[in-house]
Amino acid sequence: MDALIHHLEHGEELSPREVAVAAELLLDPKMADAKKGALLEALSRKGETPSEIAGFVEAFLEHSVNPHTGLLDLDGPTIDVCGTGGDKLGLFNVSTTAMFVVAAAGGIVVKHGNRGITSPSGGADVLEALGIRIDLPVDGFRRCLEKAGVGFMFAPAYHPAFKAVANVRKELASRGVRTIFNLIGPLLNPARPECQLVGVFAREWCPAFAEILQQLGRESAWVVHGTTGDGRSVDEVSLMGSTRICKAGAYQDQEDEEVRPRDFGLQHAEVSDLTGGDAATNAAILEAILGGRDTGPKRDMVLLNAGAALACAGLADNMGDGIEIARGVIADGSAAERLALLREAAR
């Protein structure tokens, strides 16, 4: 551990072998928390490279619970839709709402998430408020995929080894130290989906995350960073300003583009149009959108993100077509039906 810390303090990138050793030491309950904290802080100060992040993720996934979704006969591409969090805008649960739309349009959504950390309501919180059991064992998760085309993996249940770094992360967070664990949540999906739409809280992370997801074997990955009208960050495709999208995959070179709501005939919105609240409030918003009762900016924000996810998964030729497909599955009740099917399966 001391040698690894020394390398990092001298600004040296860790080799793949060193990353694997560092990951094992971080997850070792016998290793002193002070040493773990020093390593995480030194890594953060140096700045994590895409190769280091991908290496840590691969090592951590070796300790995760594998749901073995590849053994299921699933009729569609697997995809996760999520964000890093951290934009501090207090929006409603956009990606959790969008996942039902994506499932209704033919995607198999393997959602991996947690309770709210940087917001009052995380994906787990809003699903729980909808009456969906979030801590299902693997067989229950697999049943959800087969019956509803969408399932949720509660991160703490699928990453039990992370208990060994819980106290260290808490102590560093209390001092305002950002660590690799603040970055890798969306990358740690133990189902290893074929496709992934990830929102990041900082624009400069778009190409790095696209490269990381490519290294992790995603066939298609879209990494997005949106903005508000006054320049604040949004870890979603934004209805409030422009969005940078970096695309990568197993069979394509990286692409980098900028889109705006007007490119798709959607009206610009303000932050206040899209704010949510606690889990119960956000659950009501989600049901109103899927049920066709809310056709305003919140619905359009979901269309934008679901449209991007459908294009990422190859279920639409492009984002504009994806938005129209998303509009259709909300209008015909298919998206709301996916919510009902998940409620029934996740018991």
**Class level of CATH domain 71-157+189-345:** alpha beta
pLDDT on residue 119: 64
- pLDDT tens digits along 266-307: 999 999 999 999 999 999 999 999 999 999 999 999 999 999
CA distance 302 to 290: 10
pTM of the model: 0.94
The tokens 């019956």 sit on which residue? 147
- Give the number of other Cβ atoms within 10 Å of residue 51's Cβ: 16
CA distance 180 to 54: 11
What are the boundaries of each domain within the chain? 2-47, 71-157+189-345
pLDDT on residue 252: 76
- pLDDT tens digits along 83-94: 877 678 889 999
pLDDT on residue 70: 87
Residues listed for the chain: 347
CA distance 3 to 41: 15
**Spans in the chain with pLDDT lower than 50:** none
Name residues whose C-beta falls within 8 Å of residue 228's C-beta, 6 or more positions apart in sequence: 89, 234, 238, 240, 241, 270, 271
pLDDT on residue 84: 78
Q: What are phi and psi for residue 78, nearest 5 degrees? A: -85, 140
Name residues whose C-beta falls within 8 Å of residue 239's C-beta, 6 or more positions apart in sequence: 261, 266, 267, 268, 269, 273, 274, 297, 300, 301, 304
